[in-house]
Structure 1
């Protein structure tokens, strides 16, 4: 660097500091998106540029209380643009001295990638071309980073000078995105993938050393909408060879940080009225600019557009026509009143009678928007008249339309007032919202409810409220505490609640806070994730070749079916035995069993959402050997000996092989059959010692047990002692 360049840069810096002492320049910083619990770790690579500046603690600074930077991320074209701002002067010094770390987090996969681990200001040599062409933004950033200004020796004054230098450096970065990137305050990510959503984590490289918090940006992705609104409220007024221009910037403050005003003499060829863009320095968010008019014979046209932090250029506003005027004042509106006729308004304005000699005639023009376009709404009005009647316009939205009074002078000049708002009375509430539809999607234990409805046709619509109730008969409550303008809403419900339906309505609200009647109720069935209660197998009977089961069905109201399952032990697989879809069947006889086998049975209930109950407690049953046909005739005789109190039983059996023994059962009077004797297989008689009562029946049953283990059928006889 040459001495002349250094002197030039110091001169620029001192000039800015002097100007900074005269005006208060409000620098708007991006709001930090979120706080991260763990600060970004600083890298250990050495910094190539030494810095011997003294670090002064700023009054009231608490480094750990908030993120050390604010960040703004935006999709422009096929790249993602990042701009960050240190939130305090000390953080600014840490940044250009130690650098920043930029990480990217994939919102869907949570993958975290370091985009740049050492974002630093460009070397001093790279700044030389911009310094040579005396670029203000680059010069002030260079002076703040690489030069050692001669600060005041008094500590407090030096601290204030450092803060001023910090503010002017950030202003230079705000005015030129490329300069911000040169200073290590911006970055372009060209590796983002279409369709993915990202968040960026920005932190100081020395975060761990100074206990600084990183900042997380809002979500951003390629293809995000990039609205660039036009500046709607742009107006002007002519004085003596001066055009006073006014622009309300509150509605576009979050989009633009600087503005460009252009002028044209023919309405086609425009040129900027300043080599530098304009910035808003007041708290009213109003840009006020004066421009000298070279001729009072030309009608000049002005237009304005905004520029973003990334130097994107917004659309132009509507043209404002201004012609240098004489000292004649512009008439002023006095009142706009209703009449007995709803289709007629009375408009009055004020103007000195002595000035009527310069006026040829008046005319009223109107528009539904403040910025126009305006069209005639009255006939030609004589110069001596200060009142006329107009038909009200239908507002584009709300209740307000706008009028202007055009004053035509005799020498051919035209004067016009600023747009005057006319607010109409409105006693009608919004119409009932229509077309409410919705669906519920299951997401774990939550239900995501998506609602939509048709837009209301009301021009004065303010927004909507969505109401919900969880049971029929309950009162509705509001889902959204603040009104919404869109015609969709997402709600969340818990699916584990024992409710089957949820009810929604929509109510519209106009600008005067009048409410419509509720829409027709939308009833949505809630996905059922609650299983039905379990059935209970309460009884069973094992008989020859059959197993009888009885169960108590599930008591849940939404049960659709029961399924009976069987498993033959020791097989581990259950097989579906029976499906019951009615509410009456609660028993089943299994005739497909094998002898001398173990079977397990259970029952499962299913509801209409196919939720399964817990299986009924299984029962494990064993089948006996099955009864076989044996060549076995019957009892052949039964001899009663009353003296010895015996009964001799004999029987015939033609099959002599494979019989292991005979089983004899007896039923005493009024008793059940019971086994009383087991005799060898070659026996054909047996004597029962029993005292028989007269006129009482004694029942005997015999059956054979085969060597394989199964039993034959039985034969019986009944004996009765006669007196």
Structure 2
């Protein structure tokens, strides 16, 4: 058996424990591969994911790795040491399994229930007990040789040294092959002391399993422990392999299927073949394992091939997965097909001519091979590698060697394909044919664009309708008056272009235009020129205070306007003495024809010292440096205008005088009413509250002449002058 093994990768076992699909760990297994000429076994130790389960609890630093597989009535355990030293210790002292019941009927137990499942440690069978198993199981011979053989050497043969290391340490060979044999045979795993089935597990319980090397207490040797948490309730039926595809050729079929989706389920596969779709036979002697690397094309696919007994006959194939516990999955979907004899010769285009707007192709093909094909097809594409399609509605006769394309493209690639059926054809190398063309494309239309504050310019335009359009070239000018320069190295095939410009120069605008080119490099007329205004990032110049002075109404502020041409407005702010914040007072519109602006702060009283700040703002929102004023205290007159328009109503019979007025501006505290009679000059006659709007006086007699005047007292302490004299006669 060992002589059949061709090579071995030096192996450090990383035997992961049972985890979910989101927490996959890797498990090393032997990988057999077969070739279509005959089956040749090659064992490679690679890392593959752990088995299909919800169990988890994992320590990557542990030297003993454990996985589990729940079944409807039991739980299977598999484990492996990570190196030769631990493997040898396990063989010498055996393995101890302890089970802790943590959950029962979905309730966490207050204290775990411990049970030792192996009163006697699990060890490999004695050498003499392996003989019956060796006679029945070909993998038992490998394990027995690894366990008991005096020497353990592997012949590398002619295996590619890039894929397999041909010299490995003998100890690592032993542990690698021993674990490999256990991976492919549950019986060997049990005989090696590396597998156990817990048949006392309850369906309503979940367990934490511990597997450890049973080192005696008096031995001062560190022993590692593997952990796994699972339960029968986490049993999941095995899936079946998916996406099986077959490519049938001349007496050979190439199979492929998706191994990535279930790489946490299957460690290897079997392939079966049938000639009637009912009775299948396994075509591989040893399990098939993925041997590609992540750098290989389609690493998610597994590939296999098989030699077909004959062409023209339908054969059926299916695939079956294998788990680390020796379980076989349901079969995949069946694929079928027939082998076909391949075309031996390819046509060769020997001449291509352009004749009055048509293209004539001439090719060669062996006359003696005409009976092996159905005919020829003419393929055409605008690209030399992709996009080829037939322009002939049916295959041309095998005896033909010429074809005229009466509706050619301006530029096209041609192939001649010798055709037998849908699965068998062979094409010539492509040739390029270009029709003479002096007609330029249409002028580009719809050029638009915009620039942002970072200097990025985005241009777009309408797509041209010329069938031979090749691309567009972009031209730019900084002023629109100087020469436009091309900014594209190669033609732009899209209708969108991004340019970068400087935002720090003094040019407020940038100009663009484009031309279209066809495949013969005929150039269209230029598009209309597009003018793009740059976003303004330069702040305007600051205004300058000309004067700031007290007036009877408040504080008058006058400043020289900013000299920048794009100023929109001025923002005036005020700060009181002792404050740290500025209060926005007003926005003053900028008037281009005036050299200065002014603002009257009518709210500035005599109470405190104030400072003013003014900034200019342009139409892009840029703000100038502020201009600051000197501190100034307001000086407002405490005399306010008198009350005006007082209406008088006299009732001579009752001797009543009624004065009425409208509420003036300002916060009024009191009204003072003064009266003058024939006998007495003006004196304070009555005091009214600030919300009063009328005054009544009684006792006017016949012949009396009274005069009235009113003064207002404001809350800020200011007073008004006397109103005009009001004379009342009876």
Q: TM-score, normalised by structure 2?
A: 0.40
Q: TM-score, normalised by structure 1?
A: 0.41
